């Protein structure tokens, strides 16, 4: 379900079938392990060189040990030497326009720019956001350096 607090979509990109990254995310959610919620999610990330990595959610009876689809896709990309993402697609089996959760948004911000496109599958269409729209003022190296400088100035 789309979060009512999410910003307005930047663009409506049209039919998911026309977006190969959404197709990869849809394929990925078929592999999800979701015995508790039965809410399968797939994600696909495209790197700066065009490589695509996918992931699905993996639940655990201890929910805090569950893995999100975006986390799995990101881990696969990083494991293969990629740390810059241009585009991300997310799809649930419900095709409800699911967006990345806050934790996944912050993790995506580690590897993407504010302009990184996040595509959400709504079934008959897809909706695009920028990462900056979904997570304004993300915590970054610059944020941490500014906080450290402020602490040092107070000493």
Q: Which residues are catalytic?
A: 70
Q: Is 104 annotated as a binding residue?
A: yes
Q: Is 57 annotated as a binding residue?
A: yes
Q: Is 62 annotated as a binding residue?
A: yes
Q: Is 137 annotated as a binding residue?
A: no
End-to-end CA distance of the chain: 47
Q: Reduced to 3 states, what is the DSSP secondary structure of residue 77?
A: helix
Q: Is 80 annotated as a binding residue?
A: no
Q: Is 101 annotated as a binding residue?
A: yes
| C-alpha separations of 153 from 139, 142, 149 in Å | 21, 16, 6
Backbone angles phi, psi at 30, to 5 degrees: -65, -25
Q: Is 71 annotated as a binding residue?
A: no
- Pair 118, 131: CB distance under 8 Å: yes
Distance CA 57, CA 69 (A): 4
The binding site for substrate comprises: 57-63
The binding site comprises: 57-63, 101, 104
The binding site for Zn(2+) comprises: 101, 104
């Amino acid at each position: 379900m789309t979060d009512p607090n999410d910003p307005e979509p930047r663009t409506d990109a049209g039919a998911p079938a026309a977006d190969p990254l959404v197709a990869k995310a849809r394929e990925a959610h078929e592999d999800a392990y979701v015995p508790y919620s039965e809410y399968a999610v797939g994600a696909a990330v495209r790197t700066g060189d065009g490589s695509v990595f996918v992931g699905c959610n993996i639940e655990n009876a201890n929910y805090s040990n569950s893995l999100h689809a975006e986390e799995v896709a990101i881990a696969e990309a990083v494991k293969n030497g990629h740390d810059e993402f241009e585009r991300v697609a997310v799809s649930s089996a419900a095709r409800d326009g699911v967006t990345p959760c806050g934790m996944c948004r912050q993790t995506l911000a580690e590897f993407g720019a504010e302009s990184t496109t996040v595509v959400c599958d709504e079934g008959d269409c897809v909706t695009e956001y920028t990462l900056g729209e979904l997570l304004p003022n993300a915590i970054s190296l610059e944020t941490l350096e500014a906080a450290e400088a402020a602490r040092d100035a107070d000493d």
